[in-house]
Structure 1
Amino acid sequence: MLTKAAHNEHIKKGWIIMGRYLRRFPGQLSGVLILIALVQGITVWASTLNANLLDALIQFNMRRFLMTAVFLMVGWIVIALLTYIVVISQTRLIQNIDIAIRQDLTILIQHKDYETFSERTVGAYVSWFTNDIQMINTQGLTSFFMVAEEIFGTSFALVALWQYHWTLAGTALVLAGLIISVPRVFNRVLNQTNTALTEENEHFVNKTEDVLSGFDFLFAFHALSLITQRIVQSSQVLKQRALNQSKAQTAVQVTGFLGNVIAQVTLMGLSGLLAMRHLVTVGTLSAAGSLAGNVFNNLGNMSNYLGMMRGTRPIFAKYAAAQPAVRTKKDPVSEVPHNC
């Protein structure tokens, strides 16, 4: 049994391990991040065109209005094409990382002696390769790329707001800090619920494996109904762990949503005041609303995704805690083909 200090140390190490896996594929990672930056840059540029559209409409400038509409249409077509490429490239990278993790896990198991290997059932190890990898994909790796998307989108939107008026960008920065920091109060609960869920996934696989392995015995005594009874009981416990995790994640999401709405309304109100004082054009109100949506939607989502990423640390911590004392010099991750 790990002490609390040792457990916390493994939690911190788990965060580092995920970053290490990402860095094992620098070419693919850089390519995906560049594509994400392009998509977000064009999205922010398209948002600024809303101001030009409204200003052209107010001035009854038909030529400017039509040209801006054409640029807007072309921009969104390019965004759609780039998004398709991003999704494919991201999926390829995630699958390569999955292979690398599974390869590391098999190396870890190979270096165990019989006694330490037998501390867990085969079902528990199977859960490492299936349930845990799935959680890493959905909560860790996918969330990482979403966070990268939000960072690029927020940065570009803040630059655009600064070009309209510095108070818009300054206010957005202050509100952004609040949106990011408030959901962090749920970090501890989120870690606990994710740890409980990954452990219960192991237990469920173990119990299911045990009861099914006793089919012949139960059949001989006409007690096959016990299979249903035991699996349903285990499923009820797993359901409760999943509900607890969902409650923690939803609390983070709701907090981010409320902060997002309040911040957007505040920034739109400020842009309206600036327009009334003739410090910005009326069209800026439309652009500011769109850019505020970019900034605060991104930040609200980023808080959620960061919380989900932090929730995967117990999984990597479990792997770190199970490592043998002696490690091989060559990192097996580096052996995974990078051009797949």
Structure 2
Amino acid sequence: MKTYLKRFWKENAVVFFLLTVTNVIQTIVSVRMAASLNTLVNLDFESFFKVLAEVMGLFLVFLLVLNVQINKTSETKQKMATAIRTDITKRMEQASYTSFHQKQVGTYTSWLSNDLNTIESSGFDLFYQILGGIIATVSSVIALFAFHWSIVVMTIVLTALTLSLPKLYENKLKTASLSTTEENERFIQQNNFLAAQKSPR
């Protein structure tokens, strides 16, 4: 996956920038909403409506940038997926007859369909989710310093726990993913065999 992230680094840089913008806007909106509550407590309705208008403007910008981010992320994922399919196909074309037939046709079909779908969902999507989470965490930590440093310490501790807990199940997920791939290969091979049996001779 790293190879394709590096190959399409320009596209991923744009996605990174858009993720940064959306997450920073979300953080600013949260801070301004807290400020609006303070104006309500002080019964300063004029300031409250000013902050509310500011928040609505920021939220509108957020929606516009989010739309661009979703489209650009999807486009980048498709480019990387196409590159992976192309590389797999080229390797199959360059393989010798003996080397090619060491594996069943269902295995290659699984690589180009099921396995690639797994890479997109569990690889690229997860990468962008983690990247967005890191950006959101950094921007939130910076914003929380405006309130009190103790909140930042608590946030860092909770974030560390959140990131470390999934590692406990990492091996189980890898085993389950491998098992799913093998079962998909068997299923495709069985379907090909049944189709060959039913086809007229």
1:95 alignment counterpart? 78
User: Which residue of 19, 22, 31 maps to 2:14?
Assistant: 31
2:68 alignment counterpart? 85
Q: Which 4+ residue blocks in structure 1 deviate beyond 2 angstroms? A: none
Q: How far apart are 1:172 and its partner, in Å? A: 1.2
Secondary structure of the residue aligned to 1:163 is coil
User: Which residue of 52, 57, 78 maps to 2:40?
Assistant: 57
Q: How far apart are 1:130 and its partner, in Å? A: 0.9
2:58 alignment counterpart? 75
User: Is residue 133 from structure 1 mapped to residue 108 from structure 2 by the alignment?
Assistant: no
User: Is residue 43 from structure 1 mapped to residue 26 from structure 2 by the alignment?
Assistant: yes
1:196 alignment counterpart? 179
2:150 alignment counterpart? 167
Deviations 1:255-284 (A, max 9, x none): xxxxxxxxxxxxxxxxxxxxxxxxxxxxxx
Amino acid in structure 2 at the alignment position of 1:117: F
Q: Which has the higher contact order (CA 8 A, sep 6+)?
A: 1
CA distance in 2, matches of 1:97, 1:128: 15
CA distance in 2, matches of 1:22, 1:175: 29
Amino acid in structure 2 at the alignment position of 1:76: F
Unaligned runs of 5+ in 2: none
TM-score normalised to the size of structure 1? 0.57
2:128 alignment counterpart? 145
Q: How far apart are 1:131 and its partner, in Å? A: 0.9
Length, aligned pairs only: 201
Unaligned runs of 5+ in 1: 1-17, 221-340
Amino acid in structure 1 at the alignment position of 2:156: L
User: Which residue of 99, 105, 112 maps to 2:88?
Assistant: 105
User: Is residue 214 from structure 1 mapped to residue 197 from structure 2 by the alignment?
Assistant: yes
Q: How far apart are 1:162 and its partner, in Å? A: 1.6
Deviations 1:217-240 (A, max 9, x none): 7xx9xxxxxxxxxxxxxxxxxxxx
Secondary structure of the residue aligned to 2:146 is helix
Secondary structure of the residue aligned to 1:164 is coil
Amino acid in structure 2 at the alignment position of 1:131: N
TM-score normalised to the size of structure 2? 0.96
Secondary structure of the residue aligned to 1:153 is helix
CA distance in 2, matches of 1:130, 1:216: 24
Secondary structure of the residue aligned to 2:186 is helix
CA distance in 2, matches of 1:216, 1:22: 43
Q: How far apart are 1:121 and its partner, in Å? A: 1.7
